[in-house]
């Protein structure tokens, strides 16, 4: 159950969903409605699965959701995610002035893995969202901090743009404290969307 103040809306969209290609828009709006979330409306597991499908990670996402939170399968997946994220950060070319920022981001990966392993999915989703903001900056520079960033990324590649749109939505949810209040199962599903995508990036 979502514990929110009565009728207060959360998760302001980073960019209008009208910027999304038509084939993605309905699915994206099921996960992150343009009007935001209310006490009676939050994302569903069905919506996260549909979103995973349009991101191209549906099979992996379903497999992870259906496995136990512990055991070799989950551990192997987190190892692959950590290795790929480390590689993405290391291989990103940045200006000399941003090298410290890059190192700081690398230092955040192990604590995130630790939080996930403990099953603190709301906290992990918050940390993951902060990591995504920094990763977007390493990839796209100052463009990632502009209001039209998701639209810019969508023009480069619709599926990749959809991923960064998702990142913007969870960042907005973090800033409104909504992420702290959602059901841990939903937080886990939203987290899996992002880490599955980056593991296969």
Q: Which alpha helices (H) appear in 32-120, and where do they start and end?
A: 45-55, 58-66, 72-91, 99-117
| Nearest CA-CA partner of 135 in 167, 181, 157 | 167
Asked if residues 178 and 4 have their Cβ atoms less than 8 Å apart, the reply is yes
For residue 41, the cross-strand partners are 38
Residues 18-74: pLDDT tens digits? Answer: 678 888 888 888 888 777 665 545 678 889 999 999 999 999 999 888 875 545 567
Indicate the DSSP class of residue 47: H
Whole-number Å distance between alpha carbons of 133 and 100: 16
Q: Is the pLDDT of residue 76 over 60?
A: yes
Dump strand ranges (E) for 152-194.
none
């Amino acid at each position: 159950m979502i514990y929110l103040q009565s009728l207060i809306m959360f998760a302001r969209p980073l960019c209008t969903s009208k910027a999304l290609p038509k084939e993605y828009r309905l699915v994206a709006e099921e996960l992150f409605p343009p009007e935001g979330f209310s006490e009676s409306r939050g994302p569903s597991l069905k919506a996260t699965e549909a979103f995973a499908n349009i991101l191209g990670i549906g099979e992996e996402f379903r497999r992870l959701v259906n496995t136990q939170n512990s055991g070799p399968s989950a551990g192997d997946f987190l190892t692959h995610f950590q290795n790929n994220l480390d590689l993405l950060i290391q291989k990103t070319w940045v200006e000399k002035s941003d090298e410290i920022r890059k190192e700081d981001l690398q230092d955040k990966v192990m604590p995130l893995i630790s939080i996930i392993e403990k099953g603190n999915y709301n906290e992990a989703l918050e940390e993951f969202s902060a990591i995504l903001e920094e990763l977007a900056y390493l990839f796209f520079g100052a463009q990632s901090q502009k209001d039209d960033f998701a639209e810019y990324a969508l023009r480069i590649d619709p599926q990749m743009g959809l991923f960064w749109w998702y990142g913007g939505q969870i960042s907005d949810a973090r800033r409104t404290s909504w992420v702290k209040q959602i059901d841990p199962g939903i937080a886990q599903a939203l987290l899996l969307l992002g880490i599955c995508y980056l593991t296969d990036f």
